[in-house]
Amino acid sequence: MRVATWNVNSVTARLPRLLAWLEGSRPDVLCLQELKTTTEAFPAAEVGALGYEVAAHGTGRWNGVALLSRVGLADVVRDLPGQPEYEGVVEPRAVGATCGGVRLWSVYVPNGREVGHPHYAYKLEWFEALRRTVEAEGTGSVPFAVLGDYNVAPTDEDVWDPAVFEGSTHVTEPERKALAALRDAGLADVVPRPLKYDRPYTYWDYRELGFPKNKGMRIDLVYGNPAFAGAVSDAYVDREERKGKGASDHAPVVVDLDVA
């Protein structure tokens, strides 16, 4: 089974590239983030023509998540149990489903904006809800993984220049502790380092030639339980998909599994 995650930064803007990537890479399951469209407006017919069922969750704002599967889509859950609100709204940042016997969540963790901002506190609360979900669903023998844009770089090696990010979100100790709590709950980062590159970043800012200069961050992650991690046969960041006109500012992360 091949599973992947990709922050597409607008599924509408990225639709031609998304369809081409699905045809070329043939993932069995693709987790999407930052749809920027409503559930009803998601291009389900277009991806359905390629054999994918869709569980989308979006309101048309800057968030939104989806699961695309050609190996089944069962027990779909939208939003984490107990997911916190922000400004009175439960934002569409998580969708889970069982696909081909593997339990998967596509998540778009809040950005946090800046340290001390209410959105930063919300981010940490959101991570706590995710940890509880992991403890409830991910501790058994069923392969389980949380894939998506975590908006946290796990270590200083996961940003192009730690000094540039000092005091900013994505690298602070509380955020990294929240990520470590998922590992303490039984998950492991299943994408090894290095891959084909010394620093397998997944995000590069559009500004200031971020991608050509490789000024990136590794914030799109795949965290799996032992049953999932033990089945991983290969993993890579599809850096090529970040190139060219109309690319998202994130690259897909792909994981191959040997599962029955």
> Is 53 assigned a ligand-binding role in the annotation?
no
> Is 34 assigned a ligand-binding role in the annotation?
yes
> Is 9 assigned a ligand-binding role in the annotation?
no
Q: Are 92 and 133 in contact (CB under 8 A)?
A: no
Query: What's the CA angle centered on 151, arms 227 and 196, to 5 degrees?
Result: 65
> Is 170 assigned a ligand-binding role in the annotation?
no
The catalytically annotated residue of 120, 122, 149, 223 is 149
The catalytically annotated residue of 170, 220, 236, 250 is 250
Class of residue 214 by CB neighbours under 10 A (exposed 0-12, middle 13-18, buried 19+): middle
Class of residue 208 by CB neighbours under 10 A (exposed 0-12, middle 13-18, buried 19+): exposed
Give phi and psi for 259, each to the nearest 5.
-130, 150
**Catalytic annotation present for 108:** yes
> Is 156 assigned a ligand-binding role in the annotation?
no
The catalytically annotated residue of 108, 122, 150, 236 is 108
**Catalytic annotation present for 236:** no
Whole-angstrom Cα distance, residue 66 to residue 68?
A: 7
Residue type, 234: D
> Is 249 assigned a ligand-binding role in the annotation?
yes
**Catalytic annotation present for 86:** no
Tell me the binding residues for Mg(2+).
Answer: 7, 34, 149, 151, 249-250
User: What are the catalytic residues?
Assistant: 108, 149, 250
Tell me the binding residues.
Answer: 7, 34, 149, 151, 249-250
